[in-house]
Structure 1
Amino acid sequence: MLVSIELVPRSKEDLLRDITIVENILPQINVLNVPDLLRFDLRSYEAASFAYSEKKDFNVIPHIRAIDIAPDAPLPCVDRPEIKEVLVVAGDPPPTEQHEVYPNTSVDIIKRYQKEAPHLRVYAVFDPYRRSPKEELEELERKKEAGASGFFTQPIFDTNLLQLSMDWLRDETVFWGISPVLGEKSRRYWERVNNIVFPKEYDFSLEGNIHFAQRMLQLVKQQNDNAYLMPLRVDLGAYLTELQSFIVY
């Protein structure tokens, strides 16, 4: 089982601090993934290159927003030899109209990477909450045909849905998403923005989220699959310490 940690690139200093925390608590982990968040100045691929320059033992996978790439613009990371893998996401709408976007789909950009940068391994997104399972699995096949060789999932909050999705994707390389959701405000955000349906018994306390993450990691390990942790709104060191014994390579 491989485990990746998703670290938000608020700044170079914050990113380096978080990587050091991961190193100290989980020295066996050498995979990070970095989202591309427009509210911060540091873009994901810049953060990935910086992380590699400081910590060469880590493989850092930047998220690439499909809607940001102009048809005649070069693809991000093509000229960055330190980056070996990328994760293509559709991209949320920008916070201001000043940020120009383009009518690309993830499939469009994956095809471009396959054609223009075959040396890069490309991951895509699988989201069991976004649409019907049939439609999402059809989209997954389109992404595979375009050149995706693996998938990062939307964080999953139901072990029954995890096991069902594992059956659907049993022949794929997958990193199953795990993220805490603390309190009613966060719950409403996930439900509104990401169409999440939480089980009635879901515990939104910190302790409940930690126990749920431990259970998810157990199930992923049993299937010899991979996971990624998205430690939002928690103390990174404390959260990883609670999961330390469940992340054994």
Structure 2
Amino acid sequence: MAHPEGSRAQREQRRGPVVRRYGQMQAGTTDQHLLDTRGAADWVHEDPFRVMRIQSEFVEGFGALAELPPAISVFGSARTPRNSPEYEAGIAIGRGLVESGFAVITGGGPGAMEAANKGATEAGGVSVGLGIELPFEQGLNPYVNLGVDFRYFFVRKTMFVKYASGFVVLPGGLGTLDELFEALTLVQTKKVTRFPIVLFGSAYWSGLVDWFRDTIVAEGKAGPHDLHLFHVTDDVEEAVRLVTKEAGM
């Protein structure tokens, strides 16, 4: 393939570790784009800038959570009504975890998350909310006493696992399932160890457990031992005991 004539300097552009040649070359320099306030602001929406924003979210999250005591992440639906048995169970679980010496981490939203934060706060514990920027999100619930808001789901999910010693999963929707399967995958692949996962509410989770056993395991897509990656219970005290005992306390 023929290349345009000219010196190497005319057909090669270096920006830090990135080399651009021929049709991939861009006008101006990085410093010029930074210092030229007269130009368009589109650069703040480009991928290289997003990397810095992602990095800053990790730094802020690590900084805010680094000194947490041992903690358990509690997941569940944002749509759980306040006058429901599930909400009351969330309060009791949050309280029980604090009484067992753990901080409580939730997604910081309403519903089951609010319930767990409420139980933790009323018990005098550390009540963490890791919020996410969504078009319909209501912000952090009033029972969070340490909150961090994130733009990116994957950064937030890292915090849930890195700073928790286990998960309690109340009935929930797609977001709850996302966190559950993330945790199951990490435990199955031994990316994390000693990480108990408790599903609270056997009536809600029984269909999923049956499908896991009768389809995924039965067809060889997972091993029979993978059925032991989680526990199912309807008892608050058992849920707290299982998740704290296996977490090492």
Tell me the TM-score range normalised by the shorter chain. 0.3 to 0.5
The structure having more radius of gyration, on CA atoms, is 2
Q: Normalization by structure 1: what TM-score?
A: 0.39
Which structure: greater helix fraction?
Answer: 2
TM-score, length-normalised on structure 2? 0.39
